Amino acid sequence: MYDWGYGAMPHAGMGFGFGGWILMILFWGLLIAAIAVLIKSLVSPRPRSDDESRNERRSNRALDILCERYARGEIDHEEFEERRRRLED
């Protein structure tokens, strides 16, 4: 007689069998990892580019030289303040 259930293939309706469970776990693990990486990249601060860090170092170096010149007495207070304001802008 005919079997109207699963018939000769009892696991036909269960996907890939045991291998399907492994693939499902890998899929969900990769999906969760991808979401975590996306959230981390959106939350973490943007790294500075080389140009920005180079400009900041150059500005700090210029301010250091200006302070040294002021400390040695090469420039007066008014000139120091004017140049410092220009450097900080």
Mean pLDDT along residues 33-62:
79
Label residue 4 by pLDDT band (50, 70, 90). Answer: low
At CA 33, angle to CA 29 and CA 14, rounded to 5?
A: 20
Q: If you ran DSSP here, which 8-state letter would residue 48 be given?
A: P
Residue 75's contacts (CB-CB under 8 Å, 6 or more residues apart) are: 66, 69, 83
To the nearest 10°, report the CA torsion of 60, 64, 65, 71: 160
Cα(38)–Cα(16) distance, rounded to whole angstroms? Answer: 31
Whether residue 57 has pLDDT greater than 80: no
> pTM higher than 0.85, yes or no?
no
Candidate ranges 15-19, 44-48, 85-89; pick with highest mean pLDDT = 85-89
